[in-house]
Structure 1
Amino acid sequence: MLSTGALRAHLLAARLAGPVATSREESLRSYRLFAARDPRVLIGLDPEWTWEQRDLIGLMADRCGVSADPKVVSGHDVIDPERTLVALDAFADRIAAAAARRAPVLVGTGHPHRLLGFYAALADAMSAAGCTVLTPSQGHRVDITTRFGLRTCTLDYVRRVALVRAPGAARPGSATGAHTHSPLPVRTALAAAAEAGGPLPELVIGDHGWVCGAGQLGFEAIGLADTDDPALFVGEAEGRVSVVVPVDDAVRSAYYRPLARYVLNRACLSQ
């Protein structure tokens, strides 16, 4: 089993935590947009509380370990590896609880190029434990509004992990997918599952809009988030997201494998 110390060292060496690639400028821009309730940054969450930029800086300092000083406006953001480890333990506990009751789960990502392997390992292990890993609305059209205009995508599943594909992208079932923060894919999947008479997921695992979109609709949701994704941490603070793991979400895909092994070992789902 990967020890906590070994995982901490890996987090720092791979820059999953510690000084990360996400800049302070990027994060502060996201906090400003969130405070203005820009839907591109809310990613499916409808906050109940009023969040000013200073509130978000305080929240992200508490949950991630970024600087709490609003006068720090440049440089690399920092994620405290201890906070990542604590959150990974809680993340694993939610997966273990779902596996123990063989709950249906839905897994999806807006970062397929980086995180598909991480989520696929979880989906495989939960399926082996008796959970139904849902794949509703495969091939359905999803119209996502971006700053470049309307982008029409299709919902697909790779190793039971949902992602979206842009028009003309690789064939269904291949690992190539589009990067998105939108909550529309999870809303599409959940609506299709409901229209088909269920089952509905008792746990949604993912990132970006998959977590916020599901949590806003009342589904238990857990996931990963970077320092420029305040919506997930606000959802956690307000009680609509169960667990958020602070981690850089755009490093090499292979660097997430030790995290998957650690989570599955703690959840007693290693094969």
Structure 2
Amino acid sequence: MSTGALRAHLLAARLAGPVATSRESSLRRYRLFAAGDPRVLLGLDPEGGWGEGELLRLMADKCGVSADPAHVSGPEVIDPELTVAALGAFAERLGAAAGARSPVLFGTGHPHRLLGFYACLARALSAAGCDVLTPAQGVGVDMATRFGVRPYRIDYVRGVALVREPGARRAGSATGVHSHSPLPVRIALGALAEAGGPLPELVVGDHGWVCGAGQLGVDAIGLADADDPALFVGEAEGRVAVTVPLDDGVRAEHYGPLARYVLRRARLSGRQEWP
């Protein structure tokens, strides 16, 4: 896929341009981040004093949202040029991992939408000689939800970590639950350390998987929506290597062209086809 075709796809699928994420959602989450709400920090402990104004300017620069604080409603906007540029940097880092045959950990809090994207990359890296890690399989993790603390367990589907409700599905089947928590990646990394490694040289994912890994000093790259400021702050502070701005909630098949573009740019395009 050419850069022009990718840009057209981003706009047609509403991965960028006007997206389903609302301006109200973005501003509310920026306020929560500025207030230090752990639900929005995603495991990141910001070094700077990120007020609402600073966050809005950062998100305008890195994501393309309006920098006007008086713009308070309507659909959010992601600049497709920023998405294309970030996907190029994402591919470069992925290609470097493949060239070095680095151990890699994949994890997602959006399994219903993004599992296929990550699984495609995981298979390509595995074919390139990377060790795709699957630590803490079946280990329980208690996570806070709006209904209180609930038990979940870590599982892997096609090399990609996710969390699911105990007993909901057999291991390795279907997909898990939507999650923002950094606890799963902390448990996974802890299990690797306890077992004597190898530790991942790269974590690929979203939400708490990226921020939680970056906070612990592990190289991390990921995808983030316009209302997820934590990954962009992590990138600005040097704890997240690459953050790709896009809508993370469109239909799963719309991420297929992105996977093909990334693999081609990383010189891994012959390794794997979608999904």
TM-score range, shorter chain: over 0.9
Aligned residue in 2 for 1:146: 145
- 4+ residue segments displaced more than 6 Å: none
Residue 153 of structure 1 deviates from its aligned partner by 0.3
Instruction: Tell me whether 1:205 sits opposite 2:204 in the alignment.
Output: yes
Query: Counterpart in 1 of 2:22?
Result: 23
Question: For the residues of structure 1 that align with 2:178 and 2:213, how far apart are their CA atoms?
Answer: 18
What displacement does 1:104 show? Answer: 0.2
Structure 2 partner of 1:129: 128
In 1, distance between residues paired with 2:231 and 2:192? 24
Counterparts in 2 of 1:177-216, with a 5 A limit? 177-216=176-215
Contact in 1 for aligned 2:133/2:159 (Cα 8 Å): yes
Opposite residue 165 of structure 1, the aligned amino acid is R
Amino acid at match of 1:154: R
TM-score by length of 2: 0.97
Q: Tell me, which stretches of 5 or more residues in structure 2 are unaligned? A: 271-275
| Equivalent residues of 1:16, 1:249 under 8 A apart | yes
**RMSD between aligned residues:** 0.5
* Alpha-carbon shift at residue 166 of structure 1 (Å): 1.2
1:250 Cα deviation from its structure 2 partner: 0.2
Deviation at 1:241, TM superposition (A): 0.2
| Unaligned ranges ≥5, structure 1 | none
Partners of 1:176 and 1:119 lie apart in 2 by 13
Q: Secondary structure of the equivalent of 2:154?
A: strand
Whole-Å separation in 2 of the counterparts to 1:53 and 1:174: 41
How far apart are 1:169 and its partner, in Å? Answer: 1.4
Query: SS in structure 2 opposite 1:249?
Result: coil
Match of 2:5 in 1: 6
Q: Which residues of 2 match residues 67-106 of structure 1 at below 5 A?
A: 67-106=66-105
Query: C-alpha offsets along residues 200-252 of structure 1, whole Å, 9 cap, x if unaligned?
Result: 00000000000000000000000000001000000000000000000000000
SS of residue matched to 2:44: coil
**Structure-1 separation of matches of 2:51 and 2:174:** 38
Secondary structure at the counterpart of residue 156 of structure 1? strand
- Rounded to whole Å, the distance in 2 between the matches of 1:91 and 1:107 is 14
Aligned match of 1:264: 263
**Which amino acid is 1:194 matched to?**
A
The alpha-carbon deviation at position 148 of structure 1 amounts to 1.5
Classify the secondary structure of the residue corresponding to 2:163.
strand
Query: What do residues 88-147 of structure 1 show as CA deviations (whole Å, max 9, x unaligned)?
Result: 000000000011010000000000000000000000000000000000000000110122
* Counterparts of 2:240 and 2:231, CA distance in 1: 7
Identity %: 75
Counterpart CA distance in 2 for 1:148 and 1:226 is 24
Q: Secondary structure at the match of 2:105?
A: strand
Aligned partner letter, 1:14: A
Equivalent residues, number: 270
1:34 aligns with 2:33: yes
State whether structure 2 residue 217 is matched by structure 1 residue 230: no
1:102 and 1:23 map into 2 onto residues whose CA distance is 40
| Equivalence for 1:116 | 115
The amino acid that maps onto 1:42 is: L
Q: CA deviation at 1:270?
A: 1.2
Distance 1:28 1:150 in 2: 26
Q: What residue in structure 2 maps to residue 241 of structure 1?
A: 240
User: Contact 1:187–1:213 at 8 Å: present in 2 too?
Assistant: yes
CA contact (8 A) 1:212 1:232 kept: yes
Counterparts of residues 147-166 of structure 1 (less than 5 Å)? 147-166=146-165
Q: Distance in 1 between matches of 2:147 and 2:241?
A: 33
Using the TM superposition, give the Cα deviation of residue 175 of structure 1 relative to its aligned residue in structure 2, in angstroms: 2.1
Q: Using the alignment, how far apart are the partners of 1:146 and 1:219 within structure 2? A: 26
Asked whether the equivalents of residues 120 and 161 of structure 1 are also in contact (C-alpha less than 8 Å), the reply is yes
For 1:57, the aligned partner's letter is L
Q: Provide the secondary structure at the position in 1 that maps to 2:65.
A: coil
TM-score, structure 1 normalization: 0.99
